[in-house]
Amino acid sequence: MAIVSVVVAITVAIATMVSEEIVKSCFGQWVIENMVKPVGQLLIEKLVKPIGQWLGYLFHYSSNIEKMKDQVKKLRDFRERVPLPHSVDAATRNIVEIETDVKKWLDNADLIMREAKQVIEDEEKSKMRCSYAICLNLKQRHQQSKKAKKIVQDINEVLKNWISDKVYMNFGSRMVTAKELMVALGDANFNMIGVWGMPGVGKTTLVRKVAEQVKEEKLFDEVAIATVTQSPNLIKIQGEIADKLDLKLDKETSSGRADLLRVRLTKDNNKKILVILDDIWEKLDLDEIGIPCTGCKVVLTSRNKDVLSSGMGTQKDFGLEVLLKEEAWCLFEKLLGDSLVDSNLRSKAIEVSTACAGLPLALVTVAKALKNKRLFEWEDALQKLRRPAHRNQKRMQEVIYSAIKLSYNHLESPELKSFFLFCAQHQAFSSNSYEDVLKKCFGLRLFHGISTLEEARNRTYTLVRSLKDSGLLLDDPDIIDHFRMHDLTHDAALLVAYETQNVLVIRDEGLVEWPDEDDMKMCTAIVVLNSNIHELPERLECPELRYLDVYAKDREGSFKISDTFFEGMRKLKAIDLTYMRISSLPSSLKLLTNLRTLCLDQCVLGDITMIGEMKNLEILSLMDSEFKYLPREIGLMTHLRMLDLSDCKKLQVIPANVLSRLILLEELYVGNSFTQWEVEELNNERASLAELKHLSRLSTLEVHIPDPNMMPKDLSFEKLKRYKIFIGDVWDWSDKHENSRVLKLKLNTCKQWESGIEMLFNGIEDLCLDELNGVKSIVYELDMKGFQQLKHLHVQNNAEIKYIIHSRLVIDYVVFPALKIFSLKNMVNLEGICDAQLPLTSFRDIRIMKVEHCEKLKFVFSSSIAKGLSQLQELEIKECNIMRAIVVKEDGELEDRDMILFPQLRHLRLQCLPKLVSFLSTQNSIITDVGEIIHEGELNFQEIPHTGMQPLFNEEVVFPNLETLQLSCIDSEEILLQNQHRASSSFKLTNIQTDSRFQNLCNLKVTGSANLKYLLSSSTARSMVQLKFLDIEECKVMEEIILIEDLGQEQTSPMVFFPQLEYLFLEDLPVLKRFCVGSNVRFPYLKRLQIIQCPKLESFIFKPISSSMTLSKELKEMNSEEISHTAMQPLFNEEVAFPSLKTLYLDQCALEDISMIGELRNLKNFTLRQSNVEQLPRETGLLTHLQILDLSHCTKLKVIPPNVLSCLIQLEKLYVGDSFTQWDVEGLNNERASLAELKHLSRLTTLEVHIPDANTLPKDLLFEKLQRYKIFVGDVWDWSDWPEHSRALKLKLNSSFHLERGIKMLLNGIENLCLDELKGVKSVIHELDMTGFQQLKHLHVQNNAEIKYIINSRGMVISDVVFPVLEMLSLKNMINLEEICHGQIPSASFRNLSIMKVEHCEKLKFIFSSTIAKGLSQLQELVIQECSIMGAIIIKEEGEIEDTDMILFPQLRHLELHQLPKLVSFLIRQKSVINDAGEIIPECELDFHMPILQEQVY
């Protein structure tokens, strides 16, 4: 800019001088106005400004480049976070097209990033040529700077063009619903369609955007939208619709206006009209508005699904869920715009976005409120979102609260409102259990007109269903029989509960602060959740309290409840005390005569006998609590309706005649609890099952009976409506069963059937069978009617059953019509699943099928049954040694060349099936008893060149929705199909050309194949458009992954295999040569590439050396060896592109050339382990996003070029252990890397490195940010002994000043320390560490001639325990070591020591004093050898109290004493004289013993 200033100054000076001379005349003035000024302006416009701009690009070169990099990162991050690619995927899967403007935006963004990439590459290449970029000529700098500035402007523009509504609509969760809604609008069968969801979820936005789209695409000629609201105004609704239709309503009455609207909507049959009524709260008469039943389409939105389906009679409804976490953050970030510059603010914004829990209303409201606010305001908002107060709500909270409060006000009954508020206060963490809610609501008498628990359960499910339909409750996706409330709905409901019912909820993490006395008197419910609470107040005066719920944080210490606590709350009806240790119950509990429900769940219980005095109690729950004896006094609780002892695993005694006295009991839960039932006798100590005969009202039972002989013969279960009964000793309760009628059986004799069990088969939903002596089939023998309600059948460990279904008669009823899960395991004599003629709709609802270790099973289904399995989603077959086919095609079946088997199948796993020929085979093939197949002619499959073998998946097998395919140990060559273009010994998995049979496959894993040489054809790979995970392991003869079918054809565009592939794993493929042959191959979305134990892999993509070779037929005929030796190529060359690759993991691979690594600019993790590479490519320095570089065990690595590591400024983890060691000293002309480069890595937290020469350590290299490290300094160390600890240091230093080079600070917090020669150091403590190595676990000291003491504390008072966590201490070749501890140390030192080894310490006379030895309670191994003057192991100190039975080393198991020529005694007194020559004169013998010593070696 200085040059520009000079030019301007000269121009101005000349103009000034000329003007002063001629300005005096009129002519002069004319000259100035008409000549000088224009010339001056012309000079400025044409000369000065261009020069200034040109120079400006030069002077601002660095800042323009940096700004461009920042904006590129912002654009890249935005593009990655917005799930646009996933939206495209979702649209593709639903066979729809993504909007053209989204494609245009994507293309534009990609173009800009490519241009920026080129500028960055040019700049970085220039830097690599000259470290300080001074070699870059002025013209290049000008061009790059100009391009960078233009790119910044383009990025700003493209980000601005992406509006939030468009972002919202193109999220995967919204796009799918929008597209399905558009499909429904185009379906003539649907006239009325509904969209429903919770308040603020985005229903209005969705339907309005769909309205715009259908109008743009001319699906409808006209679209009218009206908002209804909770108070419908017909005149207003009619007016809104009429305005959109350009209709003038000149009638006064609503009926007259309705007639005009009706005529307008129906008069033109050729015109398509869409009417959208938004925000309907209750049934609306469309005829009163003027909307006809036919003639137009109607879309309705509501918060309540029931209003739509039942009230309005919609024909199809769409539920709208909250946004996914990534979608929510993307929307939130876009709404905030450029206000998130500060990284601290950004991280806080992510937390706030998460707190909004995906609710669009909350995201929009909060974003508007916080835009351009400061950090403390964000923190305050986050606190309010997480713990909203009932007072002082801000605007952003009021909007959310009002929306939810409105839904609450419109709930149909007071009962439903009360239930909703109770669910909010009861939701302790993330969800509610139906059973827990039932227990409390029954005790609180929340339900009206209810007399039994069965009726209360039905009411609970009904109310939950209503609230789900209203959008106020949600399903819990993770836990069966749970439901949840959205976080913001939960917060709003608690505020409503506080305002309307005086419900107090305390859920802070800190100490509980109880409200003042007046507030407590008004409370009807108190809930304390997950707080730091260990006791309750002495007394609370809460006369109106009905419900008390306290959930403690831990149960280690005793929870204190005073005897007077409950005196002021006489109206209590339900109490829940969870997760606490209660030694005894407070006596004031007896005063609670209104108490109906008491829950002491997950507690450690002491004396609870007082419960027996609570005569009015109806529900007692001790679920998952620890106690051994159920009090006999429980038998006095004659009003008890439910007793829940589930999961009380330590319960050993239920006294006899307690259960039989609970005559009103309706539900008894003893599952995973008490099992020591006794046979019915007069003098039983424990309960017998015969007592259940007295419980005439029992409708629910959960019980485990390990011994079937405990079952009374006359015990009837006919009144049970729900049960989980486990009989036999093989069952556990880890599986959570969603079904209400579950039976698991193991019966040794047929007589045990006579004990009432058989009647449970009628209506059973879940049946598990183990050993059943005398039973050879399930249907007919166990049930004659085909188990009409059975949903889950599992049969295992049965040696007698030959068929699951067996009948000589034709079965005319459908078998297993409701079965969803069917599994068979260890059925060693099972010959077939079905040996009968069944109706085709049998098994029609099965979803999951698993068969394991069925030795005699030859196939799974006949094709006639398989065709009916339209709902099957998961099929797993493994370890069936003679199985030749999964499905057998029956004789006489008509030919079907496009048979769709299992149209809903999503997961298929075939494992260890050594005889498997094909997925689908014919019955013409005779399957003998030993599993041999004799082919009786040509099979009904496609022609196979050269052989009659069948492919595993032939063209008749179609899996249109398959997502996961796993093949393991499918070894037979008969599963492989010969390829037409290869030698006869070459095989591939399928012969699929371009079909859609695997179009939705996402995960493909092939392991353990002994014969598979080529995985897939190139056309098959291209057809797998959704594949994301590809894993190939242990295929011993596989040479390449993709077989290119069209070699020789001209290639005009990049080859793309698996266009959505994100993860590629190749492991233990000993002869793999390449991925494929070809050129210009792209993997656009690959994120992780992992190659392990592929020693023959030479080039990932093999490129033929000439175009003539590419076009020749010869290449197709060449074998792999010939191709491999045609030309040596790098592993990654210019023919393969991984634009999205983040992780490259190469382990035990033979790598000749990896120079193309520099092209992987987005790489964050580069692992190169156990490789033969000798030089790290200089291009590695271009990987500026790299966070992890792992070069471990690359023992041949000799060169890391200089200035490569220093360029990796984002690096967080560097592993160079057992690898490169030839570090150069810091200098200008290094040939190799120097350790000084690590100073540039400000983010480095993990380092593994070997530094043979301590002189290469820079003086100012500090390690203060390291959190994990393994640093070996010196030439004596090797990496065979790999330290298991995260902070390990091995040192050999020739001079003491080396300790000052940043190493010493590593000693703070070190866990593993090995010391060799340390010049100038005479003790470990206190010279190396003054605090006693508080975290050290392993200490090894060797070959040191200067150290005299490990600990030198003489003349000091040490208060800190020394080596408090040390587990192993090893001393070797310490020729001048005189004592381990010289001076006094705290007795708890060395308290964790378990291994002690001392070798060749010539001047060491003893190991420990007796005071320290007594503290070695964990010592397990002691080895002392080659200590020539050692006279004792332990020396007893003067003044110590005599102990004639001293126990030393109580855990010692292994003792070795070798070559100790002067050893007199293991233990001696200190008064014994030890002279310089090591002679010992003992005064007396002492008694001691080591109680568990297992081995002594002398």
- pLDDT tens for 348-365 read 888 888 888 888 887 887
Using the Cα atoms of residue 592, residue 593, residue 596 and residue 598 in order, give the sign of their dihedral.
positive
What's the pLDDT band for 476 if we cut at 50, 70, 90? confident
Residue carrying the six token digits 């830097």 = 127
Q: Exposed/middle/buried for 1452, CB within 10 Å: 0-12, 13-18, 19+?
A: buried
The CA-atom distances, in angstroms, between 1368 and each of 249, 1340, 1350 are 94, 8, 14
Q: Which two tokens stand for residue 1234?
A: 């120097």
CB 205 within 8 A of CB 323: no
Q: Exposed/middle/buried for 9, CB within 10 Å: 0-12, 13-18, 19+?
A: exposed
Residues 1495 and 737: their CA atoms lie apart, in Å, by 52
DSSP string over 526-584: EEEEEES--B--S----TT--EEEEEES--SSBPB--TTGGGG-TT--EEEEES-EEEE
Please indicate whether residue 996 or residue 861 has the higher confidence score (pLDDT).
Answer: 861
- Alpha helix (H) ranges present in 82-202? 84-93, 100-129, 138-160, 164-169, 172-185
The helix/strand/coil state of 223 is: strand
- Alpha helix (H) ranges present in 315-394? 325-336, 343-355, 360-370, 375-386
User: Is residue 988's pLDDT more than 50?
Assistant: no
What are residue 607's DSSP bridge partners?
584
Percentage with pLDDT > 90 across the chain: 30
CA 1205 to chain centre: 33
CB 42 within 8 A of CB 15: no
E strands, 1044-1132, where? 1055-1056, 1063-1067, 1076-1077, 1081-1082, 1088-1094, 1101-1102
Q: Which two tokens stand for residue 684?
A: 């039983």
E strands, 199-247, where? 222-227
User: Is residue 646's pLDDT more than 60?
Assistant: yes
What's the pLDDT band for 933 if we cut at 50, 70, 90? very low
Q: Which two tokens stand for residue 783?
A: 């049930």
* For range 855-883, the mean pLDDT: 90
Please indicate whether residue 94 or residue 264 has the higher confidence score (pLDDT).
Answer: 264
What's the pLDDT band for 1446 if we cut at 50, 70, 90? low
Please indicate whether residue 133 or residue 786 has the higher confidence score (pLDDT).
Answer: 786
User: Is residue 893's pLDDT more than 70?
Assistant: no
The helix/strand/coil state of 10 is: helix
User: Is residue 849's pLDDT more than 90?
Assistant: yes
Residues 223 and 208: their CA atoms lie apart, in Å, by 10
User: Is residue 874's pLDDT more than 70?
Assistant: yes
User: Is residue 854's pLDDT more than 70?
Assistant: yes
Length of the chain in residues, anyone? Answer: 1498
Residues 651 and 672: their CA atoms lie apart, in Å, by 10
Provide the CB-side half-sphere exposure for 870 (13 A, CA): 6
CB 510 within 8 A of CB 532: yes
User: What's the confidence (pLDDT) of residue 1167?
Assistant: 93
The whole-model pTM stands at 0.74
Report the chain's mean pLDDT, rounded to a whole number: 80
* For range 1341-1359, the mean pLDDT: 82
What's the pLDDT band for 1386 if we cut at 50, 70, 90? confident
Using the Cα atoms of residue 1280, residue 1283, residue 1284 and residue 1286 in order, give the sign of their dihedral.
negative
Residue carrying the six token digits 């600070």 = 1305
CB 201 within 8 A of CB 173: no
For 278-303, how does the pLDDT look when each residue is reduced to its tens digit (9 = 90+)?
888 888 888 888 888 777 889 999 98
* For range 1381-1396, the mean pLDDT: 88
Name residue 1411's amino acid: T
- Radius of gyration (C-alpha) of the chain in whole angstroms: 41
Residues 887 and 895: their CA atoms lie apart, in Å, by 15
User: What's the confidence (pLDDT) of residue 131?
Assistant: 42
User: Is residue 1187's pLDDT more than 60?
Assistant: yes
For 144-159, how does the pLDDT look when each residue is reduced to its tens digit (9 = 90+)?
788 888 888 777 776 6
CA 109 to chain centre: 30
Residues 17 and 656: their CA atoms lie apart, in Å, by 123
For 21-30, how does the pLDDT look when each residue is reduced to its tens digit (9 = 90+)?
444 444 555 5
User: Is residue 797's pLDDT more than 70?
Assistant: yes
* For range 695-706, the mean pLDDT: 93
Residues 585 and 580: their CA atoms lie apart, in Å, by 12
First to last CA, the chain: 88
What are residue 1293's DSSP bridge partners?
1318
For 218-243, how does the pLDDT look when each residue is reduced to its tens digit (9 = 90+)?
888 888 888 888 788 888 888 888 88
Residues 330 and 307: their CA atoms lie apart, in Å, by 33
Please indicate whether residue 1446 or residue 645 has the higher confidence score (pLDDT).
Answer: 645
* For range 263-268, the mean pLDDT: 83
Rounded to the nearest 10 degrees, the angle between the axes of helix 100-129 and helix 61-81 is: 140
Structural element, H or E, at residue 68: helix 61-81
Residues 466 and 532: their CA atoms lie apart, in Å, by 36
Q: Exposed/middle/buried for 549, CB within 10 Å: 0-12, 13-18, 19+?
A: buried
Phi, psi of 964 (to 5 degrees): -130, 130
DSSP at 611: G
* For range 897-925, the mean pLDDT: 80
User: What's the confidence (pLDDT) of residue 35?
Assistant: 58
For 528-557, how does the pLDDT look when each residue is reduced to its tens digit (9 = 90+)?
986 778 889 999 999 999 999 999 888 888
CA nearest to 824, candidates 795, 783, 862, 859 = 795
CA dihedral 912, 913, 917, 921 (to 10 degrees): -130
The helix/strand/coil state of 435 is: helix
What's the pLDDT band for 1481 if we cut at 50, 70, 90? very low
Residues 1232 and 1223: their CA atoms lie apart, in Å, by 7
